[in-house]
């Protein structure tokens, strides 16, 4: 009987020690789980902040892409306007050249008229009194021809100056058009780069959201583990107390048996 009771006491002692070991292990595991849970929560918070930052960057990239697209469109319209100005200035220059040709014809006619009027005046002088009236008319025609020739020369001078200015302006506008084309090309390239950044930001945002969800699931799993560890710790502690009580009861039983 005593041998059996001794074995029971030995077994109860082993159970008590095992329960104590399990309890201590669970306490340590619970502490580590709590640390892990805190780290996961901190990581989740950081991921939320990072997600917000990436989303904001993606939004800004899309906005920049829209602005760049509008700038490309506006610059393209400016380029078209410059091209139209160049074309119009070319047409004006051609018109001035035609006017200059007409003025040259007028100048030639005025010169010929002046010669004819001079010849008519000579003939009228030879005619004496009979040609006096004709001489007056010839003189007036000559004066008119000279004034026409002078006006034609003034017009020709003004046309030459205008053509020179238009030619200079045409060259400047043409250079401006080339510069505008380069600007349009550069803005288009910037727009492409921004579009690539926007697409990469969107993809990065989706990836971070997936990581954030995974961290959230990990946090949930960690919380479940913490609950299980806590429950296991309580059970081990209760088992340890019950083993201690059983050991005490068996010891009392042995003492009572010895007294009897």
Confidence band of 3 (pLDDT split at 50, 70, 90): low
Place 234 in a pLDDT band, splitting at 50, 70 and 90: confident
Say whether pLDDT at 155 is over 70: yes
Q: For residue range 238-259, list pLDDT tens digits in order.
A: 776 777 777 676 666 665 555 4
Closest CA to 85 of 190, 207, 11, 172: 172
> How many CB atoms within 10 Å of residue 129?
6
H helices present in the chain, as ranges: 2-127, 132-259
Class of domain 2-259: mainly alpha
Q: Is pLDDT of 211 > 70?
A: yes
pLDDT > 90: what percent of the chain? 0
Residue 18, burial from CB neighbour count under 10 angstroms (0-12, 13-18, 19+):
middle
**Does the predicted TM-score (pTM) go above 0.85?**
no
- Predicted pLDDT of residue 23: 64
Which whole number is the average pLDDT over 207-224?
76
Domain ranges for the chain: 2-259
């Amino acid at each position: 009987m005593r041998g059996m009771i001794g074995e029971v006491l030995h077994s109860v002692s082993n159970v008590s020690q095992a329960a104590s070991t399990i309890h201590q292990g669970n306490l340590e595991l619970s502490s580590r789980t709590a640390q892990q849970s805190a780290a996961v929560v901190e990581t989740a918070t950081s991921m939320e902040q990072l997600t917000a930052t990436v989303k904001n960057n993606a939004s800004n990239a899309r906005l920049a892409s829209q602005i760049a697209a509008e700038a490309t469109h506006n610059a393209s319209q400016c380029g078209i306007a410059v091209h139209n100005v160049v074309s119009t200035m070319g047409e004006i220059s051609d018109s001035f050249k035609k006017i200059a040709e007409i003025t040259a014809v007028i100048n030639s006619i005025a010169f010929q008229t002046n010669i004819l009027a001079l010849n008519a005046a000579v003939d009228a002088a030879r005619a004496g009194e009979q040609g006096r009236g004709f001489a007056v008319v010839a003189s007036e025609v000559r004066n008119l021809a000279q004034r026409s020739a002078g006006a034609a020369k003034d017009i020709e001078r003004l046309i030459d100056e205008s053509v020179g200015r238009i030619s200079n302006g045409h060259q400047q506008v043409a250079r401006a058009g080339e510069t505008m084309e380069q600007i349009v090309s550069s803005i288009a390239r910037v727009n492409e780069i921004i579009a690539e950044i926007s697409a990469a930001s969107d993809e990065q945002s989706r990836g971070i959201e997936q990581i954030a969800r995974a961290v959230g699931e990990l946090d949930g799993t960690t919380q479940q583990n913490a609950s299980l560890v806590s429950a296991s710790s309580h059970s081990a502690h209760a088992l340890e107390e019950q083993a201690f009580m059983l050991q005490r009861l068996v010891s009392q039983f042995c003492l009572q048996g010895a007294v009897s």
